[in-house]
Chains A and B, each alone.
Chain A
Amino acid sequence: MKLLKIGISGVRGIVGESITPRLVMDFAGAFGTFVNAKPVLVARDTRISGPMLHAACASALLSSGCSVLDLGVCPTPILQLLVKPLRAMGGISITAGHNDIRWNALTFVSRDGTYLNSFQGAEVLDIYHLGKFKKVTTDHLGRIKDAERAADTYFEKLADFINAASVAKAGLKVVIDACNGAGAPFLGRLAETLGFELIPINHEPNGFFPHDPEPRPRNAQQVVSIIKAVGADVGFLLNSDVSRVSIVTEMGESLSEEFTFPLVANDLLKDQCGPVITNLSTSRMIEDVTRSRNCPLIRTKVGQSYAIQSLLQENGVMAGEGSGGVALAKFQPAFDGFLTMGAILEAMARRGKKISELVEELPRYHIVKEKIYCPPTKIHSVVNEVKRFFHKHDLDTSDGIRVEDKHGWVQVRTSGTEPMIRIIAEDRAKDRARQRADEVIHFINLIIK
Chain B
Amino acid sequence: MKKVSSLKISISGVRGMIGDSLTPQLAAAFAQAFGTYVGGGPVIVGRDARPSGTMIEQAVIAGLLAVGCQPVDVGVCPIPSFLFLTKESKASGGVAVTASHNPKDWNGMKFISRDGLYLTPHQTEEFLDIYHQGEFYLVEPERYKGLRSEPNPVEPHLKKLLSHFDVESIFRKRFKVAMDCGNGAGAVLAPRLLGALGCQTVFIHAVPDGSFAHHPEPLPENITEICRTVRHQKADVGFVQDADADRLAIVNEKGEPLGEELTLALAVQYMLGKNPGPVVCNLSTSQAIDDIARLSGAPVVRTRIGEINVVDKILAMDPRPVIGGEGNGGVILPDIHPCRDSFTAMCIILEYMAASGKTVSALQKGLPKYFMIKEKVEGSAEQAYRLVNLLKKKYEGQGKMDLRDGLKIQMKDHWIHVRPSNTEPIIRIIAEARRPEIARAAVRRLKRQIAAFRQKM
Contacts and interface: CB of A to CB of B under 8 A. Distances in A.
Nearest to B145: A48
Contacts of B32: 21
21 contacts: A16-B141, A20-B66, A21-B66, A22-B29, A47-B141, A48-B141, A49-B65, A49-B144, A52-B61, A55-B65, A56-B24, A59-B24, A59-B58, A59-B59, A63-B24, A63-B55, A101-B141, A101-B142, A137-B19, A138-B51, A144-B58
B24 A143 contact: no
Interface stretch (A24-32, A188-196, A370-378, A435-443): A24-32
Interface in B380-429: none
B141 A102 contact: yes
Interface of B (DSSP majority class): helix
A52 B144 contact: yes
A104 interface: yes
Interface string A41-72: 00000011101110110111011000000000
B141 A49 contact: yes
B147 A22 contact: no
Contact of A55 (B25, B61, B138): B61
A141 interface: yes
Interface string B1-35: 00000000000000000111001110111011000
Contacts of A62: 24, 54-55, 58
A16 to B, nearest CB: 4
Interface of B: 18-20, 23-25, 27-29, 31-32, 50-52, 54-56, 58-59, 61-63, 65-66, 104-105, 138-142, 144, 146-147
B243 to A, nearest CB: 13
A432 interface: no
A21 B23 contact: no
A89 B59 CA distance: 22
A354 interface: no
A135 B141 contact: no
A130 to B, nearest CB: 15
B20 A135 contact: yes
A15 B141 CA distance: 6
Interface residues of A, number: 37
A135 B25 contact: no
Contacts of A53: 62
A101 B29 CA distance: 24
Given A25-B24, A48-B144, A135 B58 contact: no
Contacts of A139: 51
A408 to B, nearest CB: 40
Contact of A48 (B59, B138, B146): B146
A144 B58 CA distance: 10
Interface-centre pick from B18, B27, B104, B139 (highest chain A CB count, 10 A): B18
B23 A141 contact: no
Contact of B62 (A17, A59, A104, A140): A59
A3 B45 CA distance: 31
Contacts of B65: 49, 51-52, 55
Given A135-B19, A138-B52, A21 B58 contact: no
A165 interface: no
Contacts of B55: 58-59, 62-63, 141-142
A272 B264 CA distance: 82
B146 A51 contact: yes
A29 B26 CA distance: 13
B144 to A, nearest CB: 4
Contact of A20 (B50, B54, B138, B141): B138
Given A135-B23, A138-B51, A138-B105, A16 B138 contact: yes
